[in-house]
Amino acid sequence: MSDSISARLAELGITLPEPAAPIAAYVPTLEIGGLLHISGQLPFRADGSLITGRLGADFDVAHGREAAERCAVMLIAQMKQALGSLDRVARIVKLGAFVSSDPHFTEQPKVANGASELMEKVFGDKGRHVRSAVGVPVLPLGAAVEIDAIVAVTGG
């Protein structure tokens, strides 16, 4: 499966970045009880720049979807580093999306679709998951979106 996932990433034009190091007192991943818990990941572009801004005030849904997709790429990079191989991914169980939003912005689910749709493109049916998408007034470093994940894993 790893070869097919690697091929799928290449087909989608996705190169996994170096996983982001924690910016505070926590670990990026924790595997326990057959689940890999991944701390919230920020939306870094391929050039390393952070996608910032507040949805509904500074930017639109398209900007947010791009940010959510970049969070998903970083989640996959964290999976690969923690598991050694993406072939250990049995299922993306849950994504939690936090969207920096104006109080009147209500399209957080559309923003989070950027990550959800990428997970399904990469992992197929194993990428379908449950999800929450909430608006928050501010995120670390001014990020537009932050997403965490729970992933079911095999072996170990």
List pLDDT tens digits, range 111-148: 999 999 999 999 999 999 999 999 999 999 999 999 99
29, 127, 129, 140: CA torsion to nearest 10: 40
Q: Are 88 and 156 in contact (CB under 8 A)?
A: yes
Q: 2-153 falls under which CATH superfamily? A: RutC-like (3.30.1330.40)
pLDDT tens-digit readout, 10-47: 999 999 999 999 989 999 999 999 999 999 999 999 99
Indicate the domain borders of the chain.
2-153
Predicted model pTM: 0.96
CB 23 within 8 A of CB 140: yes
Closest CA to 92 of 66, 70, 110, 118: 118
